[in-house]
Amino acid sequence: MNRLMTGVLALTMLGASVASAQTRIESGETVSGSLTPSDSRMYNGAHFEVWIFSGSRGERIGITLRSIQFDPYLLVQPFPGGRSPILARDDDSGGGNDAQVEFTLPEDGDYVITVTSAERGETGAYRLSVESLPGGARVSRAARPPAAAAAKPSALSKPATPAARMLVPGQTVTGVLSSAPRGPLGTTEGDWRYVGHAGETITLNLRSSEFDPFLTLYSIGSSVTRVAQDDNGGGGLNSKIVYRLPADGEYVARAERRLPGRSGSYTLSLTSNGARPATRGPGNRMLAAGSAVASELDGSDPKMHDGTPYELWTYAGRSGETIRITLRSDDFDAFLSIGTVTNGVFSAIESADDGAGGTHSRLEITLPFTGNYAIRANSLSPRRPTGDYVLRIESLR
């Protein structure tokens, strides 16, 4: 910093309110923002914006703020910021004028990142990154007493494996957010999964009379991408997202509190301008590489010799192609097979009971010939053989 002393600037930051422009950022995510003349000001006249992230005690965190339009300055405090103790601050450690900090989180919970400039009145675009660094002494959930148990945040740089509940167009679901810290994407009480299609426009409405709702929509592919979020677009304090899906695949809607600490119930609804449901009946549904479909095993499906229902899907593969198939269900123990169908008889080439965590199954196979392959979705156990599932296929090479 070449015109304001670091200590003086830090003291002016302590008095700043963090009520302006609060937005969530996840560990492993890089977001874009912009300081504008309409943003709130620090006591020294510098504009600022505020981001919130969640972390676990002992976790090592790195935060980088970059801009070519102003001299970045970075400040990190426990929530709610303001006069909370400063955990980390920096002006130029990120190279050039960029700011970068590395520090260890003292407690589970939410933390405030203040993005501002080293000079009064500077504005412009910036990029902010948060990552969980190796070498931290993060305390696992199993090692903590039950009262202190908390899930660690998700790393959005890796593919998600959400076990979130399903959203169905035209239906309203209810849930309860507790005071526990947020878990990885797909595990928290507010996470709901939807399988959509390219060109489909969905509308999500999150409502609560017990807390101020905040709604985020993520796309689940080879990486996890936040595609939309809203605070008060649904009228009053309620949230609303209208989003046109750019591709077939899985999406996760996360219902949250605008501010931590308040628990309570909520409703979440999804409407669509025309989702394409899967056609019922075995063997007549095509899967494309990079797609995911949602369906259900029920009593109307054909049965295996043990009485468990199954559904068949078709994939047009090529010789030497390596594919990954994942079958997920929160209702039954997933059992996945790939093979061929000749004269109505399925012959398995490879099967998998697990491999995707929990009761979910996954297999990778290099295809031996060019042609149609049958993929069978089934339950391992006749004791709990039916329910919703999501089937995903990826072409690796």
Burial class (CB in 10 A: 0-12, 13-18, 19+), 8: exposed
Shared domain for 260 and 308, answered yes or no, is: no
* The predicted structure's pLDDT at residue 305: 79
Shared domain for 225 and 253, answered yes or no, is: yes
Give residue 221's domain range.
165-272
Shared domain for 101 and 176, answered yes or no, is: no
Number of domains forming the structure of the chain: 3
pLDDT digits (tens, 9 = 90+) for 209-222: 988 898 989 888 76
Shared domain for 14 and 115, answered yes or no, is: yes
* The predicted structure's pLDDT at residue 181: 59
Assigned domain for 144 exists:
no
Shared domain for 239 and 267, answered yes or no, is: yes
Shared domain for 264 and 370, answered yes or no, is: no
Shared domain for 267 and 383, answered yes or no, is: no
Beta carbons within 10 angstroms of residue 309's beta carbon: 21
- Sequence-distant (6+) residues with CB within 8 A of 160 are 154, 184, 185, 186, 218, 220, 224, 252
Assigned domain for 213 exists:
yes
Shared domain for 87 and 38, answered yes or no, is: yes
pLDDT digits (tens, 9 = 90+) for 296-318: 898 888 888 788 999 999 888 88
Shared domain for 299 and 188, answered yes or no, is: no
Last residue of a domain, one of 272, 299, 323: 272
The 322-328 sheet, strands edge to edge: 291-297, 387-395, 322-328, 361-366
Assigned domain for 100 exists:
yes
Assigned domain for 153 exists:
no
The two three-digit tokens of residue 206, written as one number:
């999150």
pLDDT tens track of the chain, all 397 residues? 443 334 434 434 444 434 334 578 888 788 878 888 888 887 778 888 888 888 888 888 999 998 888 889 998 988 766 666 888 888 888 777 889 998 888 888 888 899 999 888 888 888 888 888 876 554 433 333 332 222 333 334 333 334 457 787 888 888 888 766 566 676 678 888 887 777 788 999 999 998 889 898 988 876 678 888 888 888 888 999 999 888 777 888 989 887 766 678 999 999 888 644 444 444 447 788 887 888 889 888 888 878 899 999 988 888 889 999 999 998 899 999 998 887 777 888 889 888 888 889 999 999 988 888 899 999 988 888 999 899 989 888 7
Assigned domain for 147 exists:
no
Last residue of a domain, one of 133, 152, 177: 133
Assigned domain for 87 exists:
yes
Find out whether 102 and 94 touch, Cβ atoms under 8 Å. no
* The predicted structure's pLDDT at residue 193: 84
Beta strands 387-395; 286-287: pairing state: unpaired
Shared domain for 242 and 313, answered yes or no, is: no
Assigned domain for 101 exists:
yes
The two three-digit tokens of residue 357, written as one number:
């965590």
Shared domain for 14 and 126, answered yes or no, is: yes
Last residue of a domain, one of 93, 112, 133: 133
Assigned domain for 60 exists:
yes
CATH label of the domain that carries residue 390: 2.60.120.380
Rg of the chain, C-alpha, whole Å: 24
